Amino acid sequence: MTERKIDELVNCAAKARERAYTPYSHYSVGAAVLTKSGDVYTGCNIENASYGATCCAERVALFKAVSEGEQDIQMIAVIADGDKPVPPCGICRQVMIELAPQALVVMSNLEGKRERRTVQELLPSAFEKSSLK
């Protein structure tokens, strides 16, 4: 991935973050996914008073892409306010291993700090489809 593509995707995630619904945690997260076809799908975290019904930004973006027929996710960007780049939670990592196992994940904060990992690096020894056989 070129630095320009990474910058563009992180900017899309930052814009999505502005739409986050976070009345409980006040911790807004944005995400964006880039598909092989070049399309970008964004998401923000959406909280709920029944905390288990909350959905993370990464899953919103991935679900939007898949619901539109995308099956080849190339890159995922996630951004939040904090001292260091925000990592995806465990549930999001599990969804990533299912829907975007070969993707590059770019984790960012609002100050411009970034870290890059593959989905495989974020969730080694994952429980996958093959685990069900």
Q: Which of 18, 47, 58, 70 is catalytic?
A: 58
Strands (E) located in the chain: 29-35, 40-44, 73-80, 104-109, 114-118
Assess whether 58 carries a catalytic annotation.
yes
Residues facing residue 118 across a β-bridge: 104
Inter-CA distances, 106 with 8, 41, 50, 118, Å? 12, 15, 29, 9
Known catalytic residues?
Answer: 58
